[in-house]
Amino acid sequence: MPERPIEILALPPKLHEMFDGHVPQRTNGEAEAMERDFLSRALAAYAMHKLADATLEEAAKSIVDGGGDGGIDSVYFSAATNTLWLVQSKYIHAGLTEPDLGDVTKFKAGVEYLLEGRFDAFAANPAWVKILPQIEAHIRNAATRVRAVLCYSGLALISEDRKRLFEALKAKVSKEPEDDFFQFHSINLTTLNDWVTGGDEAVGIESVELEILHPGLITRPHETIYGLITLESLDALHRAHGKRLVSANLRGFKGRTDVNEEIQRTVSTEAAVFFYLNNGLTAYCDRLELNNLDRANAERKRITAKGFAIINGAQTLGSIAKCFADAPPDAKPSGHAFIKIISLEKCEDDRAFADRISRTANFQNFVGLKDFAAAYELHGQIARTLVPHNISYHFKIDDDTPPSDEANFDMEEALTACACLKNTNDCDFISRVAANRDSLRSLEMVFPPEALLRSRHERVFPPDLSARTVWRAVQVQRIVIPIMRDSARAVTGASKAFYSNARWLVLAAIFNRLKPEMGEALALSADEQAVVSAAVTDYAEKLLALCVARGFASYELAAGGVQVLQAARDFQSVFKTQGDCQNLFGALKAEIWKTTNAAQPTDADQQGAND
C-alpha cells in the first residue's frame, strides 16, 4: 500500500486550528467518522476562505453539507466580485486519490439544478432552504458569475471523465466559448499544501512607500524608476520588513565576509560618497504608483511599490542595517545608495521575467552555484512542506542559518544525501560527491533535449522527490558519516584512507538495499536507526574485503606478525574515479544480496527505481 504523502499530515491540524468552534461538528457516531466529517466540511470552508476571500466566520457559515444538498457542501456569494461560489469537498485520508466519479457526478447535477432554476431540488435541506431566496436572486442577476470548485485532499490530478462533466455543463449554459458566466476549478492536495505552508503567497512586501531623489523614469517596455535613496530609508525599510525584503534574492545577507566588511567600512567612514563606491540595489514590484504631486518634480519622486522585492543588493542592504545598528544614536551614517525598481505590471509573464532579472542582476557580483541551485523551485517547496512539522530546510545562504540539528538541515546535507539516494549503477553521482560536488549543484543542461531532466541538479532533486524522503535520507546520512569517521580515527595508514573516503559508496549501498528513506513517519524510529547503524559496519567490512579482492589493496605482514593494509593506489583516488566506484558498487550489492533469499534487482530494475 502506498505511503501517505507528507502533505496530508499537516492539513488536519491546520483545519482544526482555523475552524474548531466555527464549522459544525457531529456529536454522535464513531470518533473516526466524526473526525473525517469535520475535516471534509472544514475543507469546504477553507476553500471558500482562500478562493472567495470569505472571512473564517463567513466560510464556516457557508456550509450546507447534509441530506438533499445536491452534492454541494458550501455556498457563498462574494459581493465584491459578484461571484457565486459552489464547493464540493472531499477529505481523502490516504492523500493519494481523487473523489469518486459518482460523487462528482452528483455535484455536477446539483450545480446544473441551480443554473437551470430547479431550486426545489434543495427543498429537503434546512440550510439550503434558508438561503434559497438570496441564491435565486443572484442566479437571476445577469451580472452574477458562478464558480464550481471540487476541493479534495489527494495528490492525484482530476481525471478527464470528471472534467468532461463540467465541460459539457459549461457548453450548455454559456452563450459562447469565451463566456465567463460559469467556470469549474479543481483543488488538490498540492494546492492545499501551498495554502497551509504559505507557498501561494506572493514574494516580497505587499506595499512600500519610498522617496527617490534625482530620479530617472523609463515608461517602456517596462516601467522603471531609478535614482538615489537615503541610507536612513534603507535601514528603516530593513527594520520594518527584515528578510522578507530579499526573499526573492538568490541569497540572503552572508554576514561577515571581506566584501561585506568593505561595504560596512565605507558606510561608516565615507557615507557621503557611498553611492559612488557601491553598485546599489535592484528591485522589482508588481505595480509602481507615482505620487501625482511629484510628476513635475525633477528633484524627487515619492512612489508606492506594490509587491516590492529586492533581488540584487542583499549584501548592501544587510551591511547598511548592521552599520546603523552598531552606530551610536547621535552618529548614524548620512548618505545615499543607488536603487533601480522595475515594475512587472506590463510583462506578459511577470514571474518568468522576475526570475530572469534576479539571475542576470546577480551576475554583477560573484554568485556561486550554491546560490543559483537555491533558486531551483523544488527547494522552496521542500522547505515550505516541512515548516508545519517544525523542521527547517535552509537552502539559501544566510548569516544566521542555525547549525544542523534534529530540526535544521541545509542544502549541503541534502545534496550529498540525495546524490547517494539517486545514485545509478554507473556511480556518476557518488564519484562527483567525492570529486566534483559543484557539478551536482549546476542547473546547466548537460543531458540531451529528449531527456526529461536535463541537468544533474534536477536528477539529484527530481520534481517528484518528497520533502519527507529528503529529510529521512539526511537522517540516514547523519548515522553513516559519523560511524565511518569514527572508524577512520581508530586506524592509520591505508585503513584510515579507506574509511575516510568510502562513506558515500556505503551510504548509497544502504539506500539501495535497506531503503530507509521510505516510511510514513518523518523521523527514523529507534529500530530503523539501529538497522542502519549495524549495516554501516557490515557494508564497510564487505567493501574493504572487495577492495582487497580486486587488487586495490592488500595485507602485508609487518613487524611483530601484524598484518597491515597497504593500498596499491590512494583510496581517495579510487573513490573519486567513476569506473572504480562502479566496479566496487556492483560487487558490494551482489555481496549484500547473498545474505537474503530475495532475488537481487537487475540493473534495469535499479535504473527504473532511480528514474
427-480 pLDDT per residue, tens: 999 999 999 998 998 888 889 888 888 899 999 999 889 999 999 999 999 999
Band the pLDDT of 201: cuts 50, 70, 90.
low
Q: Residues 284, 287, 291, 296: is their CA dihedral positive or negative?
A: positive
Q: Which amino acid is at 186?
A: S
Query: In terms of DSSP H, where are the helices of 422-525?
Result: 428-435, 438-441, 456-460, 467-489, 493-501, 503-514
- Residue 28: per-residue pLDDT: 80
Q: What kind of architecture, by CATH, is found in domain 6-197?
A: 3-Layer(aba) Sandwich (3.40)
Is there a contact between 238 and 317 (Cβ–Cβ < 8 Å)? Answer: yes
Answer with the residue of higher pLDDT: 320 or 313: 320
Query: In terms of DSSP H, where are the helices of 228-298?
Result: 231-241, 258-269, 274-277
- C-alpha grid cell, residue 483: 560511524
Arithmetic mean of pLDDT over the chain? 87
- CATH 3.40.91 residue ranges of the chain are 6-197
Answer with the residue of higher pLDDT: 464 or 125: 125
Q: Quick one: average pLDDT of 66-77?
A: 93
- Nearest in space to 460 (alpha carbons), one of 433, 425, 434, 426: 433
Distance CA 323, CA 577 (A): 48
- Residue 363: per-residue pLDDT: 45
Band the pLDDT of 196: cuts 50, 70, 90.
very high
- Residue 180: per-residue pLDDT: 84
Structure confidence by residue, pLDDT tens digits, 251-290: 455 555 666 788 888 888 888 889 888 888 989 888 889 9
Tell me: pLDDT of 146 over 80: yes
What separation, in Å, do the N-terminal and C-terminal C-alpha atoms of the chain show?
21
Structure confidence by residue, pLDDT tens digits, 4-15: 899 999 999 999
What pTM was estimated for this model as a whole?
0.69
Q: What are phi and psi of 27, to 5 degrees?
A: -115, 5
Tell me: pLDDT of 367 over 50: no
Q: Quick one: average pLDDT of 180-204?
A: 84
Tell me: pLDDT of 355 over 70: no
